[in-house]
Amino acid sequence: MDITSTLTLNNGVTIPRLGLGVFRSGASTKDAVLRALEVGYRHVDTAHIYRNEEGVGQALRESEVAREDVFVTTKLWNDDHGYDAALRAFDASVAALGVETIDLWLIHWPVPEKRLESWRAMERVLKEGRVRAIGVSNFMVHHLEELRANSEVVPAINQIEIHPFGQQAKVTAWCKEKGIAVQAYSPLTKAKRLDDPALGRVANAVGRTPAQVLIRWALQHDLIVLPKSADPGRIAENAAVFDFALDVPQMEELDGLEEGLHTAWDPTTEP
């Protein structure tokens, strides 16, 4: 496994295992993406609500890396649900990014009542070839079951919060069984658990930082992992995770940190 390693989605499209998250990267977004591309990332995760699709697009145009070599994800925001509204939102994201095709478009959150209609719009843009893969985010098993019973296309991805402190075992196992790839968002716990003593012990043992250990843990669990940083040094640090491995006892020690932590939001009670 190296920084160019990919996973093949259920529709044959390949996606790099490591992606740069840009939530709250703000005015630094363009520079963060340029830095990431320079150190070898080939995957960027943005969303309409992050208000930085333009910055991502600028970086794609300024970088020497070819557009087709970078996997770009964006997401449908909660206010844009419904068939026509979702189609309009897609056009707006395409325009903001300044790209012809989006690699992955996700439903950001399982908005009740409207999400099935939005999914039909997503199936349409997929059929039209304007997006290479469609998926969901923050979907729990009951949301996925509902979608399965009412749609044609199986989501390629479910993007959810995952780190050792909140592993979402049930939904992750469900997705695996159904061929839906899982992306780990907030893999660094938004920096809230980087000083955990057990994590620190593992980091010392492998001579790496806690952030690197968390990213490696996610990779070794076959997840696609999306650490965010807007700092040039930390962007490189978070990519330097392919020249060491966690052994079985270290993985087990980290697996033992489960505490049901959600640092972003918890979709389990969303109807």
Q: Annotated active-site positions, please?
A: 50
Token pair in block for residue 269: 């009670």
Q: How far apart are CA 5 and CA 183, in angstroms?
A: 15
Q: How far apart are CA 25 and CA 136, in angstroms?
A: 22
Q: Which is nearer to ligand NDP, 164 or 227 (CB)?
A: 227
Which residue ranges make up the site for ligand NDP (CB under 6 A)?
Answer: 21-23, 45, 108, 137-138, 159, 185-191, 194, 209, 211, 226-231, 234, 237-238, 264
Instruction: Report the residue number whose CB is nearest to ligand NDP.
Output: 21
Q: Which is nearer to ligand NDP, 92 or 194 (CB)?
A: 194
CB of 204 to ligand NDP, least distance (A): 15
Q: How far apart are CA 14 and CA 208, in angstroms?
A: 29
Q: Which is nearer to ligand NDP, 172 or 189 (CB)?
A: 189
CB of 77 to ligand NDP, least distance (A): 10
Contact 264, 226 (CB under 8 A): no
Beta 14-16 vs 6-8: how paired, if at all? antiparallel
CB of 135 to ligand NDP, least distance (A): 10
Q: Which is nearer to ligand NDP, 84 or 231 (CB)?
A: 231
For 145-150, the CB contacts below 8 A with 24+ separation are: 146/116, 147/115, 147/116, 147/119, 148/178, 150/116, 150/119
Q: How far apart are CA 183 and CA 162, in angstroms?
A: 8
CB of 254 to ligand NDP, least distance (A): 15
